[in-house]
Amino acid sequence: MKAEKKVSSETPLFELTLRKYEKPQTKKERELVKRLCLSLGLLQPGDSRDVVVDVLHVLLKGRKKKQLLSVEDVEKKVIINRKLHKLEMQGIAPSNIRRQIKRLSNLMLVEKIKSRYRISEFLGMSEIFADKIEKFLLLGVVQRVKDYLAAADELFSKK
């Protein structure tokens, strides 16, 4: 009986995309949130399906008032936000709103408390990035890349 070889999966355990843009210059809320989403890899450049911008925008506005929002609250506020900015009503299905909240949660920007959502601990975005993304998520990704670099060095050394 042959021993089965373990095949490494090519599906990443976690993916993190960061982009560098010029310094923020706009005072328009939605435009700033859109650039933030682009910078964090939540939105692709040129992507017209940008409801994640509205979801994050709504949750950031809720942070000011220390609001915990249900998915239904987020959905209603996203629709209002898109109407206010004269945007098409694409991507506003409840399932898509939940998916966008999940993406924000995976980046640790948003947390769930008793079926309601908020910006993590009502913290500032800079603090969330430093504590959760930079120190936790990014550090883990960088360490794993270093593991692969060390393995490549060992495997392809001159010995």
Q: Could you write out the DSSP letters of every residue in 41-62?
A: TSS-TT-S--HHHHHHHHHHHH
**pLDDT tens-place string over residues 117-152:** 999 999 999 999 999 999 989 999 999 999 999 999
Give me the pLDDT at residue 71, please.
Answer: 96
Here the tokens at position 100 are: 């966008």
Per the CB < 8 A criterion, the answer to whether 43 and 34 are in contact is: yes
Domain co-membership, 109 together with 130: no
In a domain, 10, yes or no: no
**pLDDT tens-place string over residues 31-44:** 999 999 999 999 99
Domain co-membership, 109 together with 64: yes
Domain co-membership, 113 together with 133: no
Sign of CA dihedral 64, 106, 115, 113: negative
Here the tokens at position 68 are: 């915990």
CA nearest neighbour of 81 among 71, 96, 92, 68:
92
pLDDT at 4 over 80: no
Domain co-membership, 107 together with 48: yes
What is the extent of the structural domain holding 158? Answer: 123-159
Per the CB < 8 A criterion, the answer to whether 110 and 132 are in contact is: no
Bridge partner list, 119: 110
